[in-house]
Every structure is written in C-alpha cells, then in structure tokens.
Structure 1
Amino acid sequence: MNQTQLEALNSIEATLFGEFRIAAPSGEIIELTDRRASLLLAILCIEPGHSMDREALARLLWADRFLPQAKASLRQCLLKLQRKLMEHGIDALVVSRAEVSVNPDSLRCDLSGLEAAIAAAETDHVVGELLSIGNRPLLQGVSLNPSFDEWLTDRRVHVDARLRSGLSEAIRSAAKPAAERLTEAARARFPSYRAFNRITHQATIALLPFQQIDAVGGNFFLADGIVDELSTRLAGVGGIALAGRSSVAAVAAQGDTLPQMAQTLGVSHLIEGEVRRREQEIEIRIALINGQTGTEIWSDRLNGSIEHFFDGRKIIGTNVIAAICSALCLTVTPAPSRKMTRDRDAYALYLQGRAMIQRIGGADVSAKGIELYEQALEIDPEFAECWTALADAHIMTAATTPSLERIEHSTKAAECAKRALVLDPTQGQAFSILGIHEWTQFRPADALEMAFEAYARDPNDADVCSRLGSCLLYLGKAREALPYVEAAVDRDPVYARNYAMLASTWLSLGEYEKACAAGERMSSLGAPAIWLPLAQMAKGDFEQAVQSHYGLRVHLGTTIMRPPGMPPMDDAARDAYFQIAAQGLYSGEETARTAYCQMIDGLHAAMPDPYDTSIALPAIWMGHSELAMKIYSECIHPANLYGLMSLWIDIDPINRTIRHPGFIEFAERIGMVEAWERFGWPDLIPRDPRTA
C-alpha cells in the first residue's frame, strides 16, 4: 500500500459547497450533534493547513460570552471533536496552545479538490466538479451570530474570487477546445462569466462630500473617511447604484441646489452630512435626500469615539445601512469586509493621497499623492486598498502626465496591484490595472482576461466598466464594448474621459451624429474634445472639423498633450503647429496630410519619447500606417494605449492602417491575433483573413 492510499484511509471526506457534511474513509457519514463543533470543523476545512488563532475562533463561535468563557467552550468543543473523529480512526486536528488547523493530508474535500484540479490543468475533472457544484454557496444555510455571518459572507466572496482567478489562468493556458469547455463550465457557477450583466437598480445615489467641523485641528480627514466607508458599504447593497466619485466631486464644487445636483448626476437620491470632531468624540449627521424635491426623507445623528470608528468602522455599521435601505424600501444584502487599516495615521495619509491624485494636476501633484500612499503603506503594509490606490496612481501618472518613465510606472502599478490581490482577492480595480499593464507587455489576450475579472468582482465601479470597454475597443470589438462604455457613462456622467470613449465607440460603429453629441458633451464639461472634430470629419464637415481642432490649441499645446522632455511652445509656434495639424488631419486634402505626416516623422526621430501620444494618435488618424505600426510594435505604454481604439474607425484615411497588407502581421506581433483567436475576431475583420 503506497503513501497516498494510507493517507486516504485516515482522511475526512468533506463537502463544503451546499450543506456541510463529513464522511469517514469508509463512506459512512459522521454525525456531529454539537452544532459549534460542526462549524468549527467547517471553518478549518475551508483552508486546510492554515492555522487559526484560538482566541479569534472563540470570539467567532461564542460571540455572546465573555472571552474566558468562550475560550473554555472552545477547549471543550475541540476535545469532543477530536474524540468523535478518533472513533473513525481519523487524527486530523492540529492543536496547539495558540492555534488550531486541519492537517491537509488528512482532508479530502470538494473545494480543495477543485482548486487542485484547476492548478493541475485537469480539464475533465474541473468541468465535472463545476457542473456538480453549480451555484451552491459555501456552507449553505449556516447562520450563527452577526460576527460569524459576516465572516462567512467574506469567506464566500474570497473563495469565489480564488476560483475565478484560478479558472482564468487555466483558460488562458489551455488550448482553444479545452478553454471553451472551461469557460462554459465556469458559467455553471458564475452565470455572467465574461458577459455584460446590466443590473437594474431600484435607487441611484450620489454620496456628497461631508463637511468636517473640527475642534481639534490637524490633518485628520475624518469626514472623507466616513464618506469612504459609507460608499463601500452601500456599494455592496443589491439594488443601489452609486454615482462615480469623479462626477460627484465635480458637481458638488459648482454650488448647485440639491435637486440640480441630482438631475446633473442622474440620481434618485442624495446623501449629505457633516462630521464634528472633539477631543474624545465624533458626532456624525447623515441625511438621505429625495433628489427630485430636495426634501429629507431620513436622517440620524451618531456619536462615538475615534477608537470606535477605527475598530472596524463600527460607527457606520449595520444599523445605519439598514436604516437607509429601509427608507429606500430595499432589503439589505451584506457586503464583504475589505482589507482596510486600523491605524489612524495610515488611514489619514491614504485619504490625503487619494484627494491629491483626484486633482489630476500634473506630475508634481501625482508624485505627492504617490508619496503619501507609500508613507501609509510603511505604517501598515497590509492595507490592501492603499496598495490598489497606489497602483492606480502609478497608472494615472503614466497616462496623464508628461513622464519619460511610463513603462516603469506601469510596472510599479502591476507590482502594487498584485500585492493588493494577495491581501484581498476581491479588489476589482486591481485586476483592471493589471490589465493595462498586460498591454504594455504585448499580451492583450491576458489584458482582456484581467479586465473581465475586474468586472466580475466589481461590476458597479465606473472605472472598471470603462477599462473593460476600452480594452474591447482596442481590439476592434466596438459592439461588445458599447454596453460597458454606456454603463461607465451612466455611473459617472460628469467625467469627460468617459465621453471620449463613447465618441470613439460610436465612430467605430458608424454612428457619427451620436459621436458628435458625445464630443460636444465632452466640450461642455470643459475638456478638450479631440473626438469632436474627428466626428465632424466623418460626417463630411471638413471645414468645421479644421476649426474645431485648431480651437483646441491652447489645451493641447500646453498642458494636456505636451510631450515629456519638451518645453512648452510659445504662442506663435503653437498656433503654427496646430494650423498644420488641423489641415493635415481634417481638411481632406492629401497634400496637407502628406505635409503633416512628414512633420510627425521628424518629431518621432527627435523627441525624447518617440512613442508619445502627440505622435501616435495623429499617425493613426492620418492613416500613416508605417509609422503607426512601427510605434505600437516597439512600445505600448498607458499614455498612447488609448490611440488603438481609433484604429477601427472605418473612414478614410484612418482605415488605411487596418487595410495595409502588413496589418495582420503587425496585429500578430503585438498579441492582438492571439486575443482574437481566444475571444472572437473584431467587427471589421470577422474571420482570420489568413485562412480565408
């Protein structure tokens, strides 16, 4: 008899999905009459080999008792459980004075078996297990006390996140037939796997910035912290959609009335409030407002100590969320807990860093935001959301500032996002950041996989929707991208960048009037609407397109598109350059196009970043195929990446690139063909032309 057979003779057979059951090696069901003993064993079976602190277990299972009593009850429970298992010849528990675990060699269960099969790429086994498990939750029908129920909700989310991650990796690595089988089987557990799932919300809410009235002083961003906690908890309630933070901040700064703000943001309700901080106490006022009338429909005042707030954010707890949901006639669905910090200084630095990054005020502001995040993580390196925020700050620095270190920032972003996911695998934003970095490594198939993973974890996040939509656009899949782009716009209706993506989507679909409307909306929000003249040209209005682009010269020639390493232009040079650019891009005159192509050829040879957007984007828009394909074959970084969505606008001269004889070879070189083979070919190339 070999070692594996010996281990099997002394192993528990556990079923974790659905009703929890354990069986002896003989197949006999082991009945555990002590409910807490059963729950204790179930807890340990979820992560065999992982030791759990005895005190934490005691608090979890006997939350209604004083700690000494709870610890004594745990001790008695462990003795009973060990005796019961030994009756069947099973010695599975590993017990010390401080910790308890299950020996992984003494356990066979559906969860660990499925994860092992996924890791070993055993397609048949994985498919069979997924179809067998279906959508049954972990430890179905189990409830004990609020602390345990919250813990179990969190575990369910984390386990499903682990399974999705493992499945995604298995699908990426598998040959096409096996990948298709795995994808179909994944939908047995995750019905919306890689599919847009438009959620019908009963209430749309804008959470306004809270006023902080501080009698203590100092940089203590408590009001921001309260809004942050409220936002996270409400986002986990089924039936509620929150307006994007970028749009809310922009509208709140305008000083409109409450109904005006609600109308601009497209929400049914608003939440406003204030925080008063005294030496040893905080007082919070929260009010739910009817967006149409501006009248208050619910309010409350909460008091607590600073310690109370930082100990799990208890002051914004279940009662507050339940009261808001009750006022909205919604049923509360518990949100998984997130890996926040309990350190005041780390949290304050995190909030300051986020406020700094949201200003999008240039390289100096971004660098300061990154510095604040890094200081927070020095204090608490387990702060998962701060790791995600730091990753996003690096990506935004690479994408929106004149940096010569864009790939380096992208690499740092990926490292931070991976760290966040180790600490908390539910971080959808972290997956979307990893997706951007995959493009810089010429792995768009993996990038799209990451974008889908991000959406699966956080479908209500506007940035997550936006990044998935943009990834599909880069690959020429505008029809598939549209619902994600529209969802991002719906959630963040005053964020100009979403309208740039919407305009590009409509252009790719040949809906030029809608593209113009999106460009005009971008302009009305005070952003340089570079897609508006493109849409005007598509409609045949060349003169207006030239005028519109030239009118953007102050924005584009100074702050938005100033290439890294290049000084700002003086007014005369700027005006002359943009006159040539506007004519070359939008006049429809081939001589003007040729002159501008020659100019950007010279810039490509001379500029410190030869792959900058100020070269890459006009190369695509003018159909300067050789230069466009050269740039993107050599370097894709977060700043020039969004230019790829314009490849798929089927008007002359833009479409000259995708019609170039070397385009498919170029697409294969940068990884696009691999993505198309896995996820489907683009709208304008419905099948592989090499096999036609």
Structure 2
Amino acid sequence: MNVLMLLVDSQGSLVQREEFMAKIWQETDVSDEVLTRAISVLRRHFRSEDAETEYIQTVPKRGYVLHPDLECMGHSDRPQDGSGGIHAPRNSEATALYLQGRSLLKQPFIAGALDNAIDYFREALSIEGASADLFAALAEGYYQKLTFSQAGDKHALMELAVQNAERALVLNPDMAFPLSALAMNRFLSSDIVGALDLAFRAFDLAPAEPEIAMRLGYLLAIIGKTRQAIPYFELAISRDPTRGRYFQCLAQAKLCNDELDEAERLAKKAIDLHHLFAYDTYAAVAYAKGEDDLAAQRFTQGCLAMHSMFGAQFGPPEIWEKYAGQVFSRDPDIRKLVAQWLVISDGNDIGYVSIPVMTVLMRTGSAQAIFDACGNGPPIGSHGALLRMWGSVDTCRMIYTHPKFPDFARRIGMAAAWAKYGAPDRPVYPGPSQAAGNHHEI
C-alpha cells in the first residue's frame, strides 16, 4: 500500500527507484526485487480485463509512473442500497451502463440478468478507466452469479470476484462489498473465522446496507449461531422488504429456533415475493408441526415450481415429482431410499452436489452423504443447504449429533469459528440425543 500511495502522491510524474527505497524501506535492507514484486501485484489488480493500458508504466533503469487517467473515486458517504456499495461514474455513457448493471443485480433469478450486469460493468470500466466503485460492482456481479446460478465454473467465478474485489480495495480499502465478497471466498475455503472477521468489518463500514447485514447473519447461521443471526436478517428486511431471499433466511432461522408460526409466516412471505426456494422451509415447518401430508404437498409444489422456473438446472422433473412427497417421511428407511435415488438421478454435470439434492440430504438427515459432499470445505454451489441442519427435529439431530460431525465441523472451519465466536445454539456430538443405531448413511 505504501508503494501505491507514493505513486498516487506523484501521479503522472516519475518516482525513482531510489525514492521508493528511501521512503518505504529506509530501515530495511531489501533488494530491487522487492519493489519489482510490489509493482507486479499492483499491475495485476489495475489491469482491465479488456484494455491494454498499463496503468503503472516503467521508465527503464529509473523508476515508475502512475498513469494520469487512473482515478480513485473515493468512498461514498451516501446510503448504500444493495447494489455493491458503488455510485455512478462521471462519464455519462459509463453511468448509464452502471445503472443498468446495478438494476440487474437486484434480479439475480431472471435468466441472463447477471451475465448482462457483468457485461455492462466491464464495458463501463473500458470507458471510465480503473475505478474502485466499478471494480466493486464487477466483483459483486461475479459473486452473485456464483451464488444464484447453477451455470458456469464456480471456482473460476469466485476467482474473478476475488480479483476485482482486491482491485477495488487497493484503490479504496474502506468499501464494504468487496470485503463481503472476500469473506465469502474465505468461507468457501474453509476459513470461517477469516470470513466472519471480514463480514463483521464490512458490517462496521456499512451497517445500513441490507445485503451486508444479511451475509453476516448468514455466516452466523451456518455455524449454528442462529439466535445471533436473527437480528441481522431482521435488519436486512427492515432496510429492504422487497427481497424474498431475506425473508427465507429469517424463516429458516426462526424454524431452527423453534418459532414455527413465525417461520411459516415468513416462508409464505418469501414465496409471495417469488423466492421459490422458500417452499422447502415452508414444508419443513409443516413437518416440525406434525403435519406430514401438508409437508409433502408443499415440498412437491415447490419442486414443480422451481422446475418451471429453472428447468434443467434441477435435473429430471419426473424423478422429483415421484420422490418429492416422500422427502419428509417419518420412516427413516424411506428417507434413506429417497436420498439415494435422488443422488443417483441428479442430472447436473456440474462437479458438485446440486442445490436441490443437497437440500434433500439435509431434510432426510443423510449425515454421511452430507459430509462426503462437503469434502474439505462448504459445497461451493450449494452451501446454503447448511442453514437447514440446525433445527430440533429428528432429521436435523441425526446430522449434528452424528459421531463424525466433529471431524466434519473441523474440516470445513466450523470448529475454529466456534472457538473464536462461541458455541452453536444446539449441542453437537457427543450430545444427549446420541444413541446407537440412530443414524442412517448413504
């Protein structure tokens, strides 16, 4: 950062190598190679995906010049609104592209919306030049595509989100959304402690931003700290009551907290706002209330609704129509069979267990299959299913009281997060509900 600031202070003018050494490393004996590496890192962050402009120019044998067109737009004091914490560029054409992209980020489930948003932000960058705000917007676009679309290489999308978040933070280290994107990358890399550290920092920077609050609550809920997560979900809804996803997260948290009537109301609100994933929580509430037929009806209805919206992303519809009604069976043998068939029949060649199948594994208490699907980290395409395991019903207890759960929690970073941020709300193995023969595996 000191190298960058020295370049910024002399933007457009030559900064000699000797000046870097004298002002930055005056008390340290370092070689020219250290400065060369630092310049290389900065160039990687500033380089546009399309433009060939080298924003840090080398003057052979003398030093470096920061291109005069590179601009840090600074931190916006205006309220953030869920778009990535960015404000409009100065160029009118770039502004139009930015506004179009921002509007599409609010509609992630519309086919092609996120791809178009990414294209608009990239085009705006090609017009405006390097901008912390536009890099932040592009990072948010890639992160949302990773989160809300089954299509694309998830690891490549995460890498692109990280690259652009880092570019934004190099120019402006006090931006909440890039920090939030980096937090989710830490989470998916099994560093949940690092993820929560960054998520709390992002929230401190933008406490009024609903998406930032939601993501912090999400990470807390993932590690079983549901009661601590609930106020963040409620804050997100109070700031933006149009997002069905926020109602769904709060509904699931209320379900895990055994507030069944409130969870049912919130899940229904999420469905009314066209967040179809909430059908699963809506069904799980009925199961927790002992209304098994209603649970089967709701889950089947949800599967068919999601097929109508997402199509092939959810595998063969006839398989789901046949088995969906049995996911909430009270018979553990039927649940085991259903889970086995759905794993075998998962029609997605996407390199990970799909969102609907991971959800079924959670709802059927298929602990070993969940542990296998996660491997050494949260499943990059279906980690949202982990929210579902912290309830009090038998199928949830079969997961977090499973003898192998402690090793699973250690592998994906949960155990380390508990050591720093406190134990989950529910006792994990070995707990009072642990009994021989209480777990089935697939």
TM bucket normalised to smaller: 0.7 to 0.9
Q: Partner residue of 1:134?
A: none
Report the Cα distance in structure 2 between the residues aligned to 1:686 and 1:623, rounded to whole angstroms.
14
Work out the CA distance in 1 between the residues paired with 2:115 and 2:82: 24
Q: Partner residue of 1:442? A: 190
2:408 maps to 666
How far residue 509 of structure 1 moved from its aligned partner, in angstroms, is: 1.1
Q: CA deviation at 1:634?
A: 5.1
Shift of 1:419: 0.9
- Farther off after superposition, 393-402 or 346-355: 346-355
Identical counterparts, % of pairs = 24
Determine whether 1:681 maps to 2:429.
no
Residues 226-237 of structure 1 mapped to structure 2, 5 A cutoff: 234-235=78-79
- Aligned twin of 1:536: 286
After TM superposition, the structure 1 = structure 2 runs for residues 59-70 of structure 1, keeping only pairs within 5 Å, are: none
The answer to whether the aligner puts 1:651 opposite 2:393 as a matched pair is yes
Question: Relative to 1, partners in 2 of residues 1:377 and 1:672: Cα closer, same or farther, differing over 3 Å?
Answer: same
The residue number in structure 2 matching 1:581 is 324
The question of 1:469 aligning with 2:426 is answered no
Q: 1:445 and 1:609 mapped to 2: Cα distance?
A: 26
Q: Normalising by the residue count of structure 1, what TM-score does the alignment of the two structures yield?
A: 0.50
Corresponding residue for 1:64?
A: none
Spell out the pairing of 1:16-27 with structure 2 (5 A cutoff).
Answer: none
**Distance in 2 between the 1:360 and 1:106 partners?**
50
Q: 1: distance between equivalents of 2:145 and 2:210? A: 19
Post-superposition offset of 1:623: 0.5
- Structure scoring higher RCO (CA < 8 A, sep ≥ 6) equals 2
What amino acid sits opposite 1:667 in the alignment?
Answer: A
**Quick one: distance in 1 between partners of 2:346 and 2:255?**
27
Q: Residues 502-545 of structure 1: CA distance to partner in whole angstroms, max 9, x if unpaired? A: 01111111111111111121122233232111111111111111
Question: CA shift at 1:578, angstroms?
Answer: 2.7
The 1-side partners of 2:273 and 2:110 are apart by 19
- Rounded to whole Å, the distance in 2 between the matches of 1:627 and 1:686 is 18
Deviation at 1:368, TM superposition (A): 2.1
CA distance in 2, matches of 1:533, 1:372: 39
Change (3 A) 1:380 1:480: same
What's the CA shift string for 1:586-618, capped at 9, x where partnerless?
232334312212212313597444421122111
Backbone CA RMSD of aligned residues = 3.4
Q: Confirm or deny: 8 A CA contact 2:406 2:429 kept in the other structure.
A: no
Q: Does 1:349 align with 2:349?
A: no
Classify 1:523/1:340 alpha carbon distance in 2 versus 1 (closer, same or farther; 3 Å).
closer
Q: Give the letter for the 1:347 counterpart.
A: T
| Mean Cα deviation higher: 647-656 or 460-469 | 647-656
Q: Deviations over 1:320-377 (max 9, x none)?
A: xxxxxxxxxxxxxxxxx97863223322222222233333354533222211211111
Q: Partners in 1 of 2:134 and 2:174 — Cα distance?
A: 14
The worse-fitting range, judged by mean Cα deviation, of 426-435 and 362-371 is: 362-371
Q: Is the 8 A contact 2:401 2:429 kept in 1?
A: no
- Structure 1 residues 527, 604: closer, same or farther in 2, change over 3 A? closer
Gap change, CA 1:244 and 1:382, over 3 Å in 2: closer
> SS of the residue aligned with 1:559?
helix
Partner deviation per Cα, 1:153-200 (whole Å, 9 max, x = no partner): x99x98xxxxxxxxxxxxxxxxxxxxxxxxxxxxxxxxxxxxxxxxxx
Change (3 A) 1:362 1:464: same
Q: Go from structure 1 to structure 2 and tell me whether the alpha carbon gap of 1:597 and 1:371 turns closer, same or farther (over 3 Å shift).
A: same
Quick one: which of 282, 302, 307 aligns to 1:557?
307
Change (3 A) 1:541 1:461: same
Query: Which residue type is aligned with residue 627 of structure 1?
Result: A
Which of the residues 597, 606, 620 maps onto 2:339?
597
Kindly indicate whether residue 122 of structure 2 is the aligned counterpart of residue 374 of structure 1: yes
Q: Distance in 2 between matches of 1:608 and 1:591?
A: 28
Which sections of structure 2, spanning at least 5 residues, go unmatched?
17-21, 28-71, 432-442
Provide the C-alpha distance between the structure 1 equivalents of 2:170 and 2:379, rounded to a whole number of angstroms: 25
- Distance in 2 (CA, whole Å) between partners of 1:536 and 1:338 is 41
Tell me, yes or no, if structure 1 residue 612 matches structure 2 residue 358. Answer: no
**Conserved? CA contact 1:391–1:430, under 8 Å:** yes
Structure of larger gyration radius: 1
Which residue number corresponds to residue 256 of structure 2? 508
Confirm whether residue 545 of structure 1 aligns to residue 271 of structure 2.
no
**1:171-320 matches, cutoff 5 A:** 234-235=78-79
SS at 1:552 equivalent: helix
Q: Where does residue 624 of structure 1 map in the other structure?
A: 366
- The alpha-carbon distance between structure 1 residues 49 and 370, as it changes in their structure 2 partners (threshold 3 A), is closer
State the AA in 2 paired with 1:345.
E
Counterpart contact for 1:561–1:614, Cα < 8 Å: no
Give the total of aligned pairs.
377
Distance 2:410 2:283 in 1: 31
Change (3 A) 1:663 1:380: same
Inter-partner Cα distance in structure 1 for 2:429 and 2:144:
35
Contact 1:402–1:562 (Cα < 8 Å) also in 2? no
- On the 8 A contact 1:384/1:424 being kept in 2, the answer is yes
- Closer/same/farther in 2, CA of residues 454 and 49 from structure 1, 3 Å limit: same
Does structure 2 conserve the Cα–Cα contact (< 8 Å) formed by 1:516 and 1:532? Answer: yes
SS at structure 2 position matched to 1:459: coil
Looking at structure 2, the residues matched to 661 and 599 of structure 1 have their Cα atoms a distance apart, in angstroms, of 25
Shift of 1:471: 0.4
Name the amino acid aligned to 1:578. Answer: E
